Amino acid sequence: MAKTILKWAGNKSKVMPLITPHFPKTFGAYVEPFAGALGSYLNSGVDPLEHDVHLCDINQEIIVLYDLFRKDWEKVMSISNSLGRDSKSFYEIRAWDRNPDWNDRDNWEKAARTVYLNKQAFNGLYRTNKNTGYFNTPYCKKAKKGSLVNEQVAKDFVASIENVTLYNESFESFLNNDFGDNALYYFDPPYVDLKNPNSHFEGYQCRFGLAEQIELESWMEKLSLEGHSVVTSNSMCETTKRLYRRYETHTIQVRRSLGAKASSRKMVDEIIAIAR
């Protein structure tokens, strides 16, 4: 099974074995509007030779990375591995997008920078300033040594995305596409904040709050009425219980892994909602 080339908050690589049993046994295309690091798809068991696979994310950086990676992953990694690993180099490279020549930089350099920052930043967290849009995760003192992506991981990753279709657009725009009959949609949106359910998720090139959660739920209803299956994961809280009250729901337990202290990486409940 291929692994993602990125470390990613909310990555579903380890959680998908709890989610895929709720997938239908037969379906047409496989569709994800919040693909992220592709951990969900890579661990979904979906074969792109048997199903059309459509993966979307609003983050242009990672979609450009995936596209260039499958064209010539060795070129991306050669540039990325050549970048300095010390703190000074990290902050200079992180500041590339603040410089006037940023838009003129080669896309291969930009893709290499995406890998570099992901592997050298604290916890691999992709975070941008909500006002400026600049990447602002700090340097990790225990930054990775050697190649930033294992060669075999890179090869397996490329083989797994060779026949998928990638999109860079909002979930609203993406879901307006026609993916054929009896498609399977997996929704893994920014989760409802357990401490403040009415807050907006920011710092990822988008603003995603309760209004967007409600809109996404309306898409679940629309798509299921059109004959498709929709599986959605989210935080388990009173807000999501109300949001998905019309659907079949299940509870799974997952370990949160972003905390700086091991004691904060505890098991929490998540909700799986199914519309079909």
pLDDT (tens digit, 9 = 90+) per residue, 202-249?
455 566 888 999 999 999 999 999 999 999 999 999 999 999 999 999
- CA 6 to CA 8: how far, in whole Å? 6
- 10 domain residue, yes or no: no
In Å, how far are 120, 150, 213, 231 from 239, measured between CA atoms? 36, 41, 10, 18
- 2 domain residue, yes or no: no
**In the chain, where does DSSP find H-type helix?**
16-19, 39-42, 60-81, 87-94, 107-120, 151-161, 171-175, 210-225, 238-243
**268 and 192 housed in the same domain:** yes
| Res 258: pLDDT | 53
Report the chain's mean pLDDT, rounded to a whole number: 91
Residue 170 has pLDDT above 70, yes or no: yes
Q: Domain with 142 in it: what CATH number?
A: 1.10.1020.10
Residue 182 has pLDDT above 70, yes or no: yes
- CA 81 to CA 231: how far, in whole Å? 38
**183 and 256 housed in the same domain:** yes
| Res 134: pLDDT | 85
- Among the residue ranges 157-166, 194-203, 257-266, the one predicted with the least confidence is 257-266
What does the block give as tokens for 206? 């988008």
Partners of residue 233 on adjacent β-strands: 272
- 190 domain residue, yes or no: yes
> Which of 1-5, 106-110, 125-129, 259-263 has the largest mean confidence?
106-110
**196 and 254 housed in the same domain:** yes
Q: Look at residues 273, 136, 256, 247 and name the one whose alpha carbon lies nearest to residue 193.
A: 256
| Res 202: pLDDT | 46
What does the block give as tokens for 262? 């091991």
DSSP 31-71: EES--TTSHHHHTS---TTTS-EEEE-S-HHHHHHHHHHHH
- CA 260 to CA 177: how far, in whole Å? 40
**249 and 136 housed in the same domain:** no
- 229 domain residue, yes or no: yes
> What is the chain's alpha carbon radius of gyration, rounded to the nearest angstrom?
19
Burial call 38-56: b when 16+ CB within 10 Å, e when fewer: bbbbbbbebebeebbbbbb
Contacts of 100 by beta carbon, 8 Å cutoff, 6+ apart: none
**In 189-271, where does DSSP find H-type helix?**
210-225, 238-243
What does the block give as tokens for 166? 């990638």
Confidence of residue 199 (pLDDT cuts 50, 70, 90): low
Confidence of residue 68 (pLDDT cuts 50, 70, 90): very high
Strands 184-187 and 165-167: unpaired
pLDDT (average), residues 176-201: 86
| Res 8: pLDDT | 85
Contact 44, 68 (CB under 8 A): no
Residue 174 has pLDDT above 80, yes or no: yes
Within a 10 A sphere around the Cβ of 186, how many other Cβ atoms? 25
**55 and 78 housed in the same domain:** no
* Domain termination site, one of 95, 118, 148: 148
Residue 47 has pLDDT above 60, yes or no: yes
Q: What is the pLDDT of residues 109-138, one digit of tens each?
A: 999 999 999 999 988 888 887 777 788 899
Helix and strand element counts for the chain (H, E): 9, 7
**91 and 106 housed in the same domain:** yes
| Res 1: pLDDT | 82
Overall domain count for the chain: 2
Per the structure, the complete domain to which residue 47 belongs is given by: 16-60+158-275
